[in-house]
Structure 1
Amino acid sequence: MSLWTAADASAATGGRAQGDWAATGVSIDTRTLRPGDLFVALTDIRDGHDFVAQALEKGASAAMVSRIPDDVPHNAPLLIVPEVLPALEKLGRAGRARMHGKVIAITGSVGKTSTKDMARAALTGQGRIHAAEASYNNHWGVPLTLARMPRDTDFAVIEIGMNRPGEIAPLSRMARAHVAMITTVAAAHLEAFGAIEGIAQEKGAIFEGLTAVGTAIIPEDLPVTQILRDCADAAGAIVMGFGRDGMARLIQVSSEGDSLKCRAKIAGEVIEFTLLTTGAHFALNAVGVLAALAAAGADLREAARRIGDWLPPKGRGAVEQLGDIRLIDDAFNANPTSLSAGLAMLAGLQGGRRVAILGDMLELGPDEVELHRAVADDPAMGSVDLVHAAGALMRNLYDALPTGKRGIWAGNAAELAARAAELVAPGDIVLVKGSKSSKVSAVVDALRQSGQMPAPQDEG
């Protein structure tokens, strides 16, 4: 079944179609392109027009271009548009307009992708589900996700992110969600916003795109909860708070091996569910997810049962046995809130010595030194036996620790990875965490190599 015909795509974008083609998917990357995809020649680090010939050779049904590359025949199947990114945005809006199911949009400083994946798992069996791949949440990721959406989708889960002010509102208006959820607001991207209140205002902009009588799912008990509530009220949304208080609240959570048994009350209904993780912060987000799905018309009890199928994706808190050690791979991103959650997860695991391997937290603005140093006072740090650190910013935490907790400090993650054999011992429980750009994932790779264990498949 085709996703876009030449006529549909040209009508949606205002472009000119060459040939009578039909696309079964949409791709921006020849490495992952599937036969039948419409290849979109976006310009980022590389100009996508340089890969049009390769895309057509690999079986693309057509390519969306603003010019015909020299190595592409003039009669090739194409969609010729004035500019490629605006045309992709138009294609995304058209994909959203023709879909008559329910849309859930998710943003937040921490946990967007894992929460989106949790929602997708919880919706299993309740119709045709469409969700963003990986962390496709930016100015091209959102329209791409919408352009890929089949017209008979029953539930769509759209992840929306930002790096600077003014990014969320236009993406939210593109998604036109029935329900919008904010996971939390934390000190991330402070360089661009100056204060957490500015981050809250930007996150709250997700409610601007809600459909008429939409629902806003907001975290309770944050210092900036009222800002989020004000944003939701300004959008005319129905507001449902979630957390340990609110209309959707976590009543009880207990650890059983590598899973959590949870009980929650959502809109007056008591439900129980299991999560295959030991991270208590995931339990709070699960309550928000279930509230969002119920507001979108999904069966709450079925969603609570299916949410137990979700697993944290690679790099986002997944726990794995790596030879003689247990590894919490949380190396995809970091800010003070998510690092605190990771340390709490490490502290909650029973077993041998607890080791934290930490890379710099980036984009924290003028308070970055103090924010790193303050991690030494985190309550969970009392249960951590040893800390290895990489990067100039993490040196501030390292120096603030008691001498007995200090392991190895290195100038960068590559230097730390080169000493992987010195970082852990048999029986250790190990957390690896840092901002993606700190490249602390190199330590995870080195630990896997030394343990001769394959990397798990990325579920993002």
Structure 2
Amino acid sequence: MSALWTSSAIAHAVHGKASGDFTVSGVAFDSREIGPGDLFFALKGEQSDGHIYVKDIYKAGGVAAVVSQPVDGPHILVADTTKALNDLAVASRARTKAKIIGVTGSVGKTGTKEALFAALNRASLGKAHRSVKSYNNHVGVPLSLSRMPADSHYGIFEMGMNHEGELAELTRLVRPDVAIVTAIAPAHIGYFSGVEAIAKAKAEIFQGLTKDGVAIIPFDSPQYSLLREAALHCGSQVVSFGFGEQADVRAVDVVPAPGGGSLVTAKIGGILGESSLCFTVAEPGKHWVSNALAILAAVRAVGGDLAAAGLALAELKGLEGRGKRHRIELKNGGKALLIDESYNANPVSMRATLAQLANERCEGQKIVVLGAMGELGDKAEHYHRALADDIIASGAQTIILVGDEMAYTSARLAELASEKLDRIPEITHVAGSSDSDISTILAGVAEVFGGDDILLVKGSNYLGLARVVSALVSGEY
């Protein structure tokens, strides 16, 4: 394992005192993720104190810990471990010559970040770095920066927020050369006055852009003008992407690809120069074509290889909880398709996913397990009732709804079904996601699951619908 940081470099960056000489090859703040060669930050939170686990990290192969109280074992002693993590992130950003890309948006952040990484890592022969999982908050972002090797050519960092001011803080840490806003949607709208306020909060990412930085924004968004003005106010260059004729990076032709996904012809213009590219997006859905256009814009903006980006998009596989597809071997000997979207849900992502389900060819029936959409505040009833139209349009024949707010969806579905459909779909509403509720969901699926069926599982992460996916994939249902 190559050295990521030396003890002297860490101590200098975090204004601490090293207990001795050592080198580390990784950084973590979760003791359960510690591996050989890692540096552990013993963070203190409202509910926990990382110092409790310092002994455990040495047993797991951790080299040293950053602590605010003396411990037995190699360590860096600091006054505040959370500040030290931020300080190490700042030092990491200062030492790199990599082109840095920041990614935010109401939907599509993680998928876009992963696809960008695949494209740039391919072209740079392993010299790209990105934040893992959804490490996009006030501790995840500095951790991801601290993990970036000094010789990286590219760094891709996801940044999230659910309150005003949070992105401003994160982007000044990352200092991206390119900042992407994937889309604006009423995610976390319970914390904002409306979608325009969400757009303003997302636009904070432009505040950290480096000199001559590039802002990549969705042309087809109703908030396009707001985002553009915010970027220009920060002195950024602006590149738009989308399907409209005036977009700088636009899809001029989109047709279904033979193996699934989309075959796209895109034109690139504006400050990026004139060119075109025909490529395949492995992931299905119009929303993924939109993500792909943003990815092409970013790759071009940092001087990357567009051909490599096209190949990466063609090979992209769905992420766990975000579109991964499982071919399930059923107990009756048949096979069915499970689409795992269990990690997150908001009104826009729900609509996009259900629209894609409507386009799926299915010899059997379509089954949906849909969880409530969180953080919608006083708009919860409106958005959950509106979801019923998208469910009906998807062609789902068996509908299992999970979470209290889904009572609004269930009631509206019953109204619509009686008005529009000859056959009333099977509708089940489960109020919560306890063990017994999960068992009820699995029993409901097992009762109707047959060969050539398609099952979509989607909901906010707090509901734990990943347990449904895990049980179905493992056959334990």
TM norm structure 2: 0.90
> What does residue 249 of structure 1 align with?
250
Unaligned stretches of 5+ residues in structure 1: 453-460
Name the SS of the counterpart of 1:378 in structure 2.
helix
In the TM superposition, 1:141-220 aligns within 5 A as 141-220=140-219
CA deviation profile, 1:197-245 (whole Å, cap 9, x unmatched): 1110110000000000000000112121111111101111110111112
In the TM superposition, 1:54-453 aligns within 5 A as 54-68=56-70, 72-73=71-72, 76-127=73-124, 128-245=127-244, 246-255=247-256, 256-267=258-269, 268-323=274-329, 324-351=335-362, 352-378=364-390, 381=393, 383-401=395-413, 402=417, 404-413=424-433, 414=438, 415-450=440-475
Q: CA deviation at 1:29?
A: 2.1
Amino acid at match of 2:3: S
Q: CA deviation at 1:329?
A: 0.5
> Which stretch has the larger CA shift, 434-443 or 97-106?
434-443
Name the SS of the counterpart of 2:252 in structure 1.
strand
Distance 2:263 2:465 in 1: 31
Distance 1:445 1:399 in 2: 29
**Corresponding residue pairs, total:** 447
Amino acid at match of 2:299: L
Unaligned stretches of 5+ residues in structure 2: 330-334, 419-423
Distance 2:264 2:220 in 1: 20
> Which stretch has the larger CA shift, 37-46 or 192-201?
37-46
Name the SS of the counterpart of 1:223 in structure 2.
coil
Summarize the Cα distance change of 1:6–1:382 in structure 2 as closer, same or farther, 3 Å threshold.
closer
Q: CA deviation at 1:32?
A: 2.0
Whether contact under 8 Å (2:115, 2:312) holds in the other structure is no
Name the SS of the counterpart of 1:54 in structure 2.
helix
Name the SS of the counterpart of 2:314 in structure 1.
helix
Distance 1:24 1:448 in 2: 34
Name the SS of the counterpart of 1:87 in structure 2.
helix
- Structure 1 outlier segments of 4+, above 4 Å: none
> Which stretch has the larger CA shift, 119-128 or 48-57?
119-128
Identity %: 39
CA deviation profile, 1:6-50 (whole Å, cap 9, x unmatched): 111111111111111111111112222121111111123421101
Amino acid at match of 2:150: R
Name the SS of the counterpart of 1:191 in structure 2.
helix
Q: CA deviation at 1:451?
A: 7.0
Distance 1:185 1:214 in 2: 21
Distance 1:231 1:37 in 2: 40
Whether contact under 8 Å (1:420, 1:446) holds in the other structure is no
> What does residue 455 of structure 1 align with?
none
Distance 2:121 2:61 in 1: 31
Whether contact under 8 Å (1:40, 1:84) holds in the other structure is yes
Aligned Cα root-mean-square deviation (Å): 1.6
Distance 2:448 2:185 in 1: 30
Q: Is 1:37 paired with 2:38?
A: yes
> Which stretch has the larger CA shift, 246-255 or 93-102?
246-255
> What does residue 332 of structure 2 align with?
none
Summarize the Cα distance change of 1:43–1:422 in structure 2 as closer, same or farther, 3 Å threshold.
farther
Distance 1:443 1:58 in 2: 31
Summarize the Cα distance change of 1:204–1:380 in structure 2 as closer, same or farther, 3 Å threshold.
farther
Amino acid at match of 2:466: S
Whether contact under 8 Å (1:168, 1:205) holds in the other structure is yes
Whether contact under 8 Å (2:355, 2:390) holds in the other structure is no
> What does residue 456 of structure 1 align with?
none
Distance 1:216 1:379 in 2: 35
Amino acid at match of 1:405: P
